Amino acid sequence: MTKKSPSPEAIAAWARLVRVSRQLVERTEDALKASGLPPLAWYDVLHELAEAGEGGLRPFELIDRILLAQYSVSRLLARLEVDGLIEKLPVSDDGRGQTVRITASGREMRRRIWAIYGASIADQIGDRLSAQDLKTLASLLGRLRDPPASE
Amino acid sequence: MTKKSPSPEAIAAWARLVRVSRQLVERTEDALKASGLPPLAWYDVLHELAEAGEGGLRPFELIDRILLAQYSVSRLLARLEVDGLIEKLPVSDDGRGQTVRITASGREMRRRIWAIYGASIADQIGDRLSAQDLKTLASLLGRLRDPPASE
DNA sequence: TTCATATAAATGCAATTGCATCGACAAGGA
DNA sequence: TCCTTGTCGATGCAATTGCATTTATATGAA
């Protein structure tokens, strides 16, 4: 096991990355709260389910797409169901599981959240960097994805 | 009140930013947990206090430096004190407040956390981008800081 | 079949967080 | 001095989270 020391540039980039992303998310959450809307996590689920279409998704598929623990997804879906934003259907070929589908209210809620969320992205990112810089940023970040499980 | 729509580039950059930073932090937290060490938030406090030197810091100064709510800092400090990593001193010219100072154990703990934290930064950031790219990344992120409180 | 193991999803319980408020002191005007 | 308002930090309580485990079903080997 080798202990490594990060370069000053790496430390600086890390600090900025963590701090900035926290601020961006926090501001967005605040904006949603101020509008009486649910948190971003709800949007993520509604978004994935909307993308998935009529077939819906199994909870475990949702877990891979949004980065949440199994129990978090389980509870999140329970709340979304109580609010009528999704529906759970038994799945024929696997008695353990279920399929989750977005409802009409769910689509409507997704739209309402996006009005705020999208504006927040535009304010905080879109208006501050050129399209070219945004591409550069996304590309650099892309190289940090999916670190191969270290040792 | 104007509702804006973000460009596709902005959406892509946002998604990457949020997702990547979450993954990086999560992996680091996991590494700390695996080593039986406390969470990153503890490091942040110990780091600030170490920087501050013998004079220590008032809790409200800490609040500005690390991005945490007042009650979070209050409780975090209480835990750090129980573990003997910091000490709270009454402050002479303000009977309401206190000064928080890092202890020797606190410095030791900071060192131990950094062994893991630093390695995680090197693994996840330092080894993946050149010094030049790291500077570019930090610079782009820098332009996203401190959004002027929107309307 | 039968049994051992694996996977899907939910949940009991303890720990943590967020919200609102409180208690204590400070600051400044009347 | 007295009173109002503001700031510092802590905390009661409800909601949420994390961990470990449970329940239910599937899968595959013997």
- Per-residue pLDDT tens over the stretch A89-123: 999 889 999 999 999 999 999 999 999 999 999 99
Whether the pLDDT of residue B13 is over 90: the answer is: yes
List CB contacts (< 8 A) between B3 and chain A. Answer: 115, 118-119
Asked if strand C comes closer than 7 Å to B69 Cβ, the answer is yes
Q: What is each CA distance from A146 to A62, A137, A142, B139, B141, in whole angstroms?
A: 18, 17, 9, 23, 20
Looking up tokens 């008695």 gives A95
Distance of alpha carbon A102 from alpha carbon A78, whole angstroms? 13
Q: What is the pLDDT of residue A148?
A: 53
Chain A, 25 to 44: residues with Cβ < 8 Å from chain B are 25-27
Asked if strand D comes closer than 7 Å to B70 Cβ, the answer is yes
- Cα angle A114, A118, A119; round to 5: 120
| 3-class DSSP assignment, residue A30 | helix
Whether the pLDDT of residue B150 is over 50: the answer is: no
Which of B7, B89, B77, B9 has its CA nearest to residue B41? Answer: B77
Tokens of A107: 């689509």
Q: How many CA atoms lie within 13 A of A66 on its CB side?
A: 23
Percentage of chain B exceeding pLDDT 70: 95
List CB contacts (< 8 A) between A10 and chain B. Answer: 121-122, 125-126, 129, 134
CB atoms B17 and A19 under 8 Å: no
Asked if strand D comes closer than 7 Å to A16 Cβ, the answer is no
CB atoms B21 and A16 under 8 Å: no
Asked if strand D comes closer than 7 Å to B72 Cβ, the answer is no
Q: What is the pLDDT of residue B2?
A: 59
Q: What is the pLDDT of residue B147?
A: 60
What contacts A19, CB < 8 A, 6 or more positions away?
A: B67, B145
Whether the pLDDT of residue B97 is over 80: the answer is: yes
CB proximity B78 to A under 8 Å? no
Domains (ranges, CATH) in chain A? 37-122 (1.10.10.10)
- Cα angle A106, A30, B142; round to 5: 115
